[in-house]
């Protein structure tokens, strides 16, 4: 039997690590999309994305009913990221995999926020997300996007507010 090739390649794992938020899309009972921001997530090194369920009862309920999900993440400064389509399962205390996956999230984010369960996403498809400016201005590159983003998101203003 041929092993299944990994879908989370090094550039995708790096993008996950560089992203501040991801967006988890599930399907509600009436068939409508439910998109929820998640700030505690990581690549587990085993071709899965782990998302901490800190306060996500609707996402968890939707996954229990329909495990098809989409996770997207974009580095807002470089304006590139990925959309990961796959299947999710919710790991809870007592599940054989919970302690290991929970431990990875705690190692990454600490214990400030209680992790009620772990949403484990196994990808079936990965698609790159790229800002239209890369196609509209092919002579520009990531550094141009970073400079533009720093201005657009008023990073200096927020730095001064935080001081």
pLDDT in tens, 108-143: 999 999 999 999 999 999 999 999 988 888 888 888
DSSP, residue by residue, 38-51: ESSEEE-SSS-EEE
Asked if 78 and 145 count as a contact pair (C-beta separation under 8 A), the reply is yes
**Span 91-107, average pLDDT:** 96
Tokens of 79: 């304006």
pLDDT at 35: 98
How far is C-alpha 78 from the geometric centre of its chain's CA atoms?
Answer: 16
Q: What is the pLDDT of residues 37-71, one digit of tens each?
A: 999 999 999 999 999 999 999 999 999 999 999 99
As a whole number, the mean pLDDT across the chain is 93
- Furthest C-alpha separation in the chain: 58
The reported pLDDT for the residue numbered 149 is: 85
pLDDT at 1: 58
Q: What angle do CA 40, 66, 19 make, to 5 degrees?
A: 25
CA 153 to chain centre: 21
CB 126 within 8 A of CB 83: yes
> Domains along the chain?
10-130 (2.30.110.10)
pLDDT at 105 over 80: yes
Q: What pLDDT shows up at residue 15?
A: 95
Distance CA 116, CA 79 (A): 32
In the prediction, which pLDDT does 148 show?
86
The per-residue pLDDT for 137 is 87
Kindly report the backbone phi and psi dihedral angles of residue 61, in degrees, each rounded to the nearest multiple of 5, phi listed first: -60, -45
Task: Please say if the pLDDT value at position 2 is more than 60.
Answer: no
In this prediction the pTM is 0.90
pLDDT at 23 over 70: yes
Task: Write the Ramachandran bin of 100: left for phi over 0, alpha for psi from -120 to 50, otherwise beta.
Answer: alpha
Mean pLDDT, to the nearest integer, of 4-14? 90
Looking up tokens 């999710």 gives 88
* β partners of residue 87: 68, 122
């Amino acid at each position: 039997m041929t092993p299944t090739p990994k879908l989370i390649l090094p550039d995708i794992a790096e993008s996950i690590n560089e992203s501040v938020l991801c967006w988890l899309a599930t399907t509600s009972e009436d068939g409508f999309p439910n998109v929820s921001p998640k700030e505690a997530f990581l690549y587990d090194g085993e071709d899965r994305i782990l998302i901490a369920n800190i306060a996500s009862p609707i996402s968890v309920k939707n996954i229990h009913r329909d495990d098809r999900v989409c996770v997207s993440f974009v580095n807002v400064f470089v304006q590139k990221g990925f959309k990961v389509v796959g299947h999710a399962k919710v790991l809870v205390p007592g599940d054989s995999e919970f302690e290991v996956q929970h431990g990875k999230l705690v190692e990454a984010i600490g214990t400030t926020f209680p992790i009620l369960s772990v949403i484990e996403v196994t990808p079936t498809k990965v698609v790159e997300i790229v800002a239209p400016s890369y196609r509209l201005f092919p002579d520009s590159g990531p550094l141009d996007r970073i400079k533009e983003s720093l201005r657009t998101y008023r990073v200096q203003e927020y730095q001064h507010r935080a001081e």
